[in-house]
Amino acid sequence: MNSLDPLIDPFNRHITYLRVSVTDRCDFRCVYCMAEDMTFLPKHDLLTLEELERLCGAFIARGVRKLRITGGEPLVRRNVMSLFRGLSRHLDSGALEELTLTTNGSQLPRFAADLAAIGVRRINVSLDSLDPEKFRRITRWGELDAVLKGLAAAKAAGLQVKINTVALRGVNDDEYDQLIAWCGAEGFDLTFIETMPMGDIGADRTEHYLPLSLLRADLAQRWTLDDSDYQTGGPARYVTVRESGRRLGFITPLSHNFCESCNRVRLTCTGTLFMCLGQEDAADLRTPLRAGTDDNQLQAAIDAAILRKPKGHDFIIDRRTKSPAVPRHMSVTGG
């Protein structure tokens, strides 16, 4: 391959979507994502923002059209807006179709206007409860009021918002109708996500696992859910809620995996490329990145990695051992 060839995996899937974790740190400690007493990477292990921008540029040169910045919480990384500004030049040139991010919303009062100004058009905000006490229990450190202020700032800046809610049996399953109605009133789309068995969180996930097929069947008793062919390039399958006119998505890594159309890979803040969220195989891009000023070795390493991209993941909830299917935390890989 040369540097202009598109990235195509062994199953003839074009890789056009890169998710980039800029930090494993977060100002929340959500119970399904992290242990309360987390050990984070030493800061000197992280790629610089300039190195992350160069890596993203190498993927854009190969046909990546969508970049999502993630964490941890991406907006807690110092000077992260310099990365967004640097990447926005690819929007200006037309090489990149979309630059977006997933956030917990806590930092949006500071950054929403700047994000919109450099070309971010839509964002995903993780929000699992509209009840302040329950929100605090789920996030351990989060304050609902701060997130609601962040969402107001996003709306004021003209950003389209999609709410991501992890469906947790016995935790927030009494709020789903309220969330649908609230998102309709606010003009937000909503996606429900099955809990993913990644990383030791100091608790048993099995008791909270809720198959979204059951959730959808339950919602259909009260809401008119019209099938939709809408796609964002991500794994969600969408319907339209007729009563609100808003989209409702379902991400089902356990009950129905979404691998057949996978067009994405994930880059960590240390320069490790995961070809699949649910597999441990990974490629070191930091070494070739730092080997020289041209991207020849880096592009060769990217080629070798894409040729190892698996057909699908193997997520399971193991009720016998209660161990995670993948030992690394979601905050390491990026959401």
CA distance 272 to 114: 29
User: Is 30 labeled as ligand-binding?
Assistant: yes
User: Is 102 labeled as ligand-binding?
Assistant: yes
User: Is 183 labeled as ligand-binding?
Assistant: no
Residue from 275, 280, 263 nearest 315 by CA = 280
How would you classify residue 43: left for phi > 0, otherwise alpha for psi between -120 and 50, otherwise beta? alpha
The CA R_g of the chain, rounded to the nearest whole Å, is 19
> Quick one: CA torsion of 102, 87, 150, 186, rounded to 10 degrees?
-70
CA distance 256 to 313: 11
User: Is 261 labeled as ligand-binding?
Assistant: no
User: Is 276 labeled as ligand-binding?
Assistant: yes
User: Is 265 labeled as ligand-binding?
Assistant: yes
CA distance 101 to 110: 15
User: Is 290 labeled as ligand-binding?
Assistant: no
Residue 177's CB is within 10 A of a number of other CB atoms, namely 12
Alpha helices in 71-200 (DSSP H): 80-93, 108-117, 132-139, 144-156, 176-186
User: Is 162 labeled as ligand-binding?
Assistant: yes
User: Is 1 labeled as ligand-binding?
Assistant: no
User: Is 269 labeled as ligand-binding?
Assistant: no
CA distance 331 to 335: 7
User: Is 32 labeled as ligand-binding?
Assistant: yes
User: Is 20 labeled as ligand-binding?
Assistant: no
How would you classify residue 174: left for phi > 0, otherwise alpha for psi between -120 and 50, otherwise beta? alpha
User: Is 264 labeled as ligand-binding?
Assistant: yes
Omega within 30 of 0 (cis) for the link into 72 = yes
Binding residues for [4Fe-4S] cluster: 26, 30, 33, 259, 262, 276
Name the binding residues for GTP: 19, 68, 102, 162, 264-266
Q: Which residues are annotated as a binding site for S-adenosyl-L-methionine?
A: 32, 72, 126, 196
Binding site, residues?
19, 26, 30, 32-33, 68, 72, 102, 126, 162, 196, 259, 262, 264-266, 276
